[in-house]
Structure 1
């Protein structure tokens, strides 16, 4: 007795729908991913034995951050060049010509003295009168 065998069907997995699902997942992850960029400089403030804490104001404040290498950032936005003209242009643009705004200079403890003097010079040339230097309170030595 001779039995006829049924021809075997080729089993295939349809990958078109799988590719569609993977593509949609990829798009979802690309769209929902947030790319954070640190724009603030890391500043270790110098210590001072005396001082008064700043009073809280509702006014807009300008803050110049000076890193240990002498690079500047104004209100968290790093400046491309570390020279007087760039700093003055950024200050005048950010303040919109209002030199009555309080200006805070936060310099790293290892910042070259010239970088701080340049920031103070830029503030003086633009007419800022409310100038504050930030420090941290000195720790008591054991």
Structure 2
């Protein structure tokens, strides 16, 4: 006869609540003690300009419309790719020393249209490329 009581063997349980509490306190401590620093990928010095001097007018202006059409110095161009645009740019800057190009792109123009104009300038040998912008009088600085 077996007079001993049977012991019910309970499965061991891991109580996760204290573990979560400890991890939360550690996370708060790490977040409070960590110093966040801003790492820059490139160290650059931006140029400064004064309002007193005015730049010389651009030698060549390419206008990019919202639908991807181009105009060179106010004349509409029929083509839309970089190779043929570069031929027109070469003809426009022929005989000029250190030609510069200003790209006047509509706000609704696609990035590809602007990149095509930049690529055409590279193919035409124009190293100085700039963009026109307009100031928004209602914007806060």
When normalised by structure 2's length, the TM-score is 0.56
What is the rounded CA distance, in whole Å, between the counterparts of 1:99 and 1:86 in structure 2? Answer: 22
Moved more, 79-88 or 65-74: 79-88
Instruction: Give 3-state SS (helix, strand or coil) of 1:93's partner.
Output: helix
What's 2:67 paired with? 69
What is the rounded CA distance, in whole Å, between the counterparts of 2:89 and 2:79 in structure 1? Answer: 13
What's 2:54 paired with? 55
Instruction: Give 3-state SS (helix, strand or coil) of 1:56's partner.
Output: coil
What's 1:30 paired with? none
Instruction: Give 3-state SS (helix, strand or coil) of 1:136's partner.
Output: coil
For 1:30-82, what per-residue CA distance to the aligned partner results, in whole angstroms no more than 9, with x for missing partners?
Answer: xxxxxxxxxxxxxxxxxxxxx96783327x61000000001000001111111
In our comparison, the structure showing a higher alpha carbon Rg is 2
Instruction: Give 3-state SS (helix, strand or coil) of 2:127's partner.
Output: coil
What's 1:88 paired with? 86
Following TM superposition, the consecutive aligned residue runs of length 4 or more in structure 1 with deviations greater than 4 angstroms are: 51-54
Unaligned 5+ residue runs, structure 1?
1-50
Aligned residues: CA RMSD: 2.5
Higher relative contact order (CA 8 A, sep 6+): 1
When normalised by structure 1's length, the TM-score is 0.56
Number of equivalenced pairs: 91
